[in-house]
A and B are shown apart, each in its own frame.
Chain A
Amino acid sequence: MARSLTLAAGVLVALSAGSAAAQSATDTKSFTVTGNVPALCSGGTIAGTGSTFDLGVLIDTTTGLLRTDLAAPPKVLTGSFCSSRSTITVNATPLAAQNFTATAPAGFSRTVDYTATASGWTPTAATFATGAGSNPGAVQTRPTAFSGDITVAIGTFSTNGGSGLRLVSDTSYLGVVTVTLAVAN
């Protein structure tokens, strides 16, 4: 009896020792895995035939006055995205004669105003009129991340100074429309 007890104890000891060794080999630790995605915006690329709004001849050649049918196809920015709340801002400079830089003589103007709009990003299109004193609608905010196309258009052309003025002759009238997507705070 006594032997068998010892053996049993030995077995127990052995089993006990074996059990202790298995617990230390499978210890568990917890690690926290973290990362962050910075707020990003991308303006995308302009689809179609280039980035230039080409209006061609600006005047009615029988009167010298600004054409009333001026138009240019809109531009589409594809692949635009912002990964966070964002703003879209449209800005524009008037079409101005690049070679005739002096003050226009009486009866003439060297500047054409217009309105630029950027739509598709926000429910209300961002709008900028070059002849306006202020443009409160030029900045629009989108509260959520978004990816989509932005359509940029120009229109509502007018001769700076009044519709009765003629444009001075110049081979180059130039203005610029800029659209900016930015992360909003």
Chain B
Amino acid sequence: MALESAETKIVPGALDPAAIDEPEDEVFEKRRIGVLAWIGIGWLGLVVLIAILAPLLPIKSPTLGDYVHPQAGMFTPGHILGSDDSGRDVLSRVIWGARASLLISLGSIAFGTLIGGLLGLIAGFKGGVTDTVLSAFFNIFLAFPQLVLALTLVSVLAPVKNSGGASSGEWAHRILVVILAVGIVSVPLLGRITRASAISWSQREFVMAARAQGATNRRVMFREVLPNVMPAMLSIALLGVAIVLVLEGALAVFGVSIQEPDPSWGNMIYSQLSNLNSAPTVWIVPSVLIFVSVLALNYLGDVVRARFDVRESAL
């Protein structure tokens, strides 16, 4: 059946009336993304939805301690996912923590994709001196270990104040600082990938054909090259979101991510480093969330690449 459909759809004999009458949507039938990808999308959608709706959900305060039930285990009445050593509800904390973690990972990758993608596109398309300068810039940044660079940037941009209870303004400021720091770290990564892809697409004949029709460089870059580079960029960006989810945890270990008492998935794990055994749910729950989300993002990254990779040889 697969062969049969391949024959009728991939090579639409232009003068063959049977091929012309084929319903449009069937042409794309064989490009379905699969059940696993939908599970991944569903999971991420759920996490994002819950994070957005956190203030409306009937959950306990993430920062107020319940001193009657500290370190409650799983399925304790009132604390379905347990509570930490101050008696704060783990369910509530992972939901509110998702806001911070997702904002940081999506925000920083959006920043990195925008800036890195643009620089990479320009470097790959223009070549020559522009490329040399931009590539040198990328390489210098890549030479630093990501974590060290992110740590340095966060510390420089906003030193941690030990003032205790954080206001919501301070929370937003912290998020912005972490987004900026991690975003800067991701610029060269996305820049390099985009540059490599842009180089190969810029040398294609259709780019010359567009120039030969009188298109300006800017037009050729954004209309001809960029759409072809997008799949590679998106796929790496999705992986990047996953990497940043983990990186946020690492930053939390060094105490420069979201500050207590506000939760993020990273600092929830870190906060229980001293009593891993007595209240395991506090670090297991966010760890599992990070793990599943990273898995989903990784898989979706691959799917995006396979789905949008329009190669003439494959068609």
Whether chains A and B associate is no
Q: Which residues of A line the B interface, CB within 8 A? A: none
